[in-house]
Structure 1
Amino acid sequence: MANGEDAGFLPQWRLKTEGVIGPDERLPAGQTLLAGIQHVVAMFGSTAIAPILMGFNPNIAILFSGIGTLIFFLCVRGRVPSYLGSSFAFIAVVIAATGYAGSGPNLNIPVALGGIIAAGALYTVIGLVVQAAGYAWVEKLMPPVVTGAIVAAIGLNLAPVAVKAVSGAALDTWVGLLTVVAVGLVAVRAPGMIGRLPVLIGGLAGYVAYYLGTNVMGLGKPIDFSGVAAASWFGLPAFTAPTFELGAMLLIAPVAIVLVAENLGHIKAIGVMTGRNLDPYIGRAFIGDGIATMLSASGGGTGVTTYAENMGVMAVTKIYSTLIFVVAAAVAILLGFSPKFGALILTIPGPVIGGLTIVVFGLIAATAGRIWVQNKVDFSSSRNLITVGATLTVAAGDLTLKLGGMTLGGIGTATFGCILLYHLLGEGNREEG
């Protein structure tokens, strides 16, 4: 239903083959499988890169991203289309807590895992409070002008990552741009189901172009398939148990606040995209994400969060069926137990990933416009203009704040700064957002 409420625990998922596919609708089985795989492709780069930057095992992170997505799916009763992947918000504090040198395995992972569990527990408690006390106070705290600015901040903050990936050799740049064009052409001009797989098909086009340019023509660093050949088809990941040290827990636990702000922005954006009121599921979403984070860290995985990359895929494809994410989660779990598939996905060239993320991150930022337009945000208001302008500049410039032993990155600084600035400017001011 349009208001986000439904009679049963899970939706009935009516079959639909054309137009926009809502959260409670589904495509035929074959198309659902392909769309699910596309979401795996969209999340894989970040979900694998984040653990590598912290010295974690990427296969374990992928495995728990799938398990976490299923937990989230059940907690929100199948109403919120979203994928949970490795959170970048933990990177700085994990490195600080473990003293990780930046390459190879992190020998102090257990200490970080205890801190991540603490963050997940705090996140879950916040979700329980929201679920019990209602979400009206969230609307007052973060009106449309603020949520739109936060969503735009997420997309703009991630932009340098995408651009850097296509800014190496000349071939890298051209392959990245080719990937962008391929995604756009498939999304806009391709007929039928092909038009619903722009990220998958556009990424494949970029992969083939890069392979021809490097492995065949020798114009750059070739794709190395030796890791794929050496990896086994199936294997049990090496799990790691957490240890609990108060210092690390106090350092890492506050990341939960960043995750709350990030997740809230994502849910509001998804609500706009789907035309559904998802506010009744905000508390459930926090709880699901918190439980998934605790479970992931219990086995050696990273903290998880709802993924902006998959929001971008939904914006392109107009497929919002929550069943897609059950399929994506199942595929991720299989990949977690298959080093060979993981090695194959990791051969995707950086310029191809960069091209895909240029489109995806750009669409995330553009979603802010929809939030502002649909809620008729008044940009003749100085309060709104200053709030949005400062937020976007802070996010785009990746302004970092150091608060004691905690480092708040660009997204966190922009998020909390946006909320505080909006309400500070509202004191004694009759302008509203």
Structure 2
Amino acid sequence: IGLALGGIIACGAIYAVIGLIVMAMGTRWIEFLLPPVVTGAIVMTIGLNLAPVAVSSVAGSNFDAAMALVTILCIGLAAVLTRGMLQRLLILVGLVAAYAIYALVTNGLGWGTPIDFSIIEEAAWFGMPAFTAPTFSPHAMVLIAPVAIILVAENLGHIKAVGAMTGRDLDPYIGRAFLGDGLATMVSGASGGTGVTTYAENIGVMAVTRVYSTLIFVAAAGFAILLGFSPRFGALIQTIPGPVLAGASIVVFGLIAVAGARIWVQNQVDLGENTNLIVAAVTLVLGAGNFSIDFGGFTLDGIGTATFGAILLHLVLRHGTGGGRGRAI
């Protein structure tokens, strides 16, 4: 674990340096590499790549699949029937409603796997999290550090998605976002945590609730830190049934995919143009199919291959045959 943490810190350092470069030089070079057709495809790929994780978790049981659909319905009803604050909290409202329904039909009626509430009673109210010191190894650092490039592409796609949702130009803040992610990753790795970056799940929640205030994330971080000192709260979270989480994930991941399509629409990407058509088609299949490539001990998964594939393919085709302006038949 310590070796991995050392690699995470190295990755965060590279990520932070890229952020400083973007802040000094601007984002034009990124825009050149990642035009709307590419960023839209990458954002959509993130949602499609995550989708099988949610679906496969309930594929082996008709009951679990049914409860996932019930969760989707609860969230959907919360989205269209509630107003005001409840509608802002529609994911939470839908989860609570689905949790209650699941508890009723399992613990109450004896269908499916019941919720085990004993782990809550056994957990302490307060406790210290486990910390692990990092160990720096050149091999681990070389292995993990290149992930920073993937994080840059993913983060850019996330920022573009949020920009499309809010109707604001967030490009001036891209460098800050990279720097913040890099520093946060270094702090996390130094204390035994995983690498951090912008999370697509949160963007999906933003798309549903239409709450984009950055102050919300500051408050959420504060509460998360405090709750991290409560093993009982962690036990409560663990009681959330898998089918309920899967249903919520299906909604959130789907909204991420739609955010990618929204980038295409708002930037008037012409999918009748062969360059755009091929880039979009190949990127989506690489990501949705989780096309992975192994480099020794380092694996580039579907999102990574889709990201690099989209960038390289667009560069080649754009400068290949007259800018790729041929029309699809």
Range class of TM-score, shorter chain: over 0.9
- The answer to whether residue 101 in structure 2 is matched with residue 220 in structure 1 is no
Spell out the pairing of 1:72-83 with structure 2 (5 A cutoff): none
**Deviation of residue 209 (structure 1)?**
1.5
Q: Runs of 5+ in structure 1 lacking a partner?
A: 1-108
**Deviation of residue 199 (structure 1)?**
0.5
Q: 1:199, 1:323 → 2: CA distance?
A: 19
- The answer to whether residue 123 in structure 2 is matched with residue 231 in structure 1 is yes
Spell out the pairing of 1:251-262 with structure 2 (5 A cutoff): 251-262=143-154
Moved over 3 A (4+): none
Check the 8 A contact 2:317/2:324 in 1, yes or no: no
Partner secondary structure for residue 306 of structure 1: coil
Q: 2:214, 2:115 → 1: CA distance?
A: 34
After superposition, the C-alpha distances for 1:314-336 in whole angstroms (9 at most, x for unaligned) are: 11111111111112111111111
Q: 2:319, 2:262 → 1: CA distance?
A: 27
1:430 is aligned to 323
Aligned-pair RMSD on alpha carbons? 1.1
Q: 2:192, 2:78 → 1: CA distance?
A: 38
Q: 1:168, 1:377 → 2: CA distance?
A: 39
Q: 2:245, 2:299 → 1: CA distance?
A: 27
Spell out the pairing of 1:203-282 with structure 2 (5 A cutoff): 203-282=95-174
After superposition, the C-alpha distances for 1:277-326 in whole angstroms (9 at most, x for unaligned) are: 11111111001000000000111100011011111111111111111111
**Partner amino acid, structure 2, of 1:319:** V
Spell out the pairing of 1:280-291 with structure 2 (5 A cutoff): 280-291=172-183
Task: State TM-score, norm by structure 2.
Answer: 0.96
Partner secondary structure for residue 299 of structure 2: strand
Spell out the pairing of 1:46-65 with structure 2 (5 A cutoff): none
- Select 1:137's aligned residue among 29, 32, 42: 29
Q: 2:63, 2:297 → 1: CA distance?
A: 42
**Partner amino acid, structure 2, of 1:426:** R
Check the 8 A contact 2:133/2:191 in 1, yes or no: yes
Q: 1:319, 1:326 → 2: CA distance?
A: 14
**Partner amino acid, structure 2, of 1:175:** M
Check the 8 A contact 1:157/1:411 in 2, yes or no: yes
Task: State TM-score, norm by structure 1.
Answer: 0.73
1:110 is aligned to 2
Aligned length: 324
Q: 2:245, 2:58 → 1: CA distance?
A: 9
Check the 8 A contact 1:165/1:353 in 2, yes or no: no
Q: 1:299, 1:400 → 2: CA distance?
A: 30
Check the 8 A contact 1:156/1:365 in 2, yes or no: yes
- Select 1:153's aligned residue among 45, 56, 59: 45
Partner secondary structure for residue 327 of structure 1: helix
Partner secondary structure for residue 120 of structure 2: helix
**Deviation of residue 369 (structure 1)?**
1.6
Partner secondary structure for residue 323 of structure 2: coil
After superposition, the C-alpha distances for 1:141-198 in whole angstroms (9 at most, x for unaligned) are: 1000000000000000000011122323222111100110111111122222222211
Q: 1:243, 1:194 → 2: CA distance?
A: 46
2:252 is aligned to 360
Q: 2:171, 2:120 → 1: CA distance?
A: 44
* Structure showing the higher helix proportion among its residues: 2
Q: Runs of 5+ in structure 2 lacking a partner?
A: none
**Partner amino acid, structure 1, of 2:116:** D
1:49 is aligned to none
**Deviation of residue 123 (structure 1)?**
0.7
Partner secondary structure for residue 402 of structure 1: strand
**Partner amino acid, structure 2, of 1:404:** G
Partner secondary structure for residue 305 of structure 1: coil
**Partner amino acid, structure 2, of 1:315:** A
After superposition, the C-alpha distances for 1:70-116 in whole angstroms (9 at most, x for unaligned) are: xxxxxxxxxxxxxxxxxxxxxxxxxxxxxxxxxxxxxxx11111111
- The answer to whether residue 202 in structure 2 is matched with residue 310 in structure 1 is yes
1:170 is aligned to 62
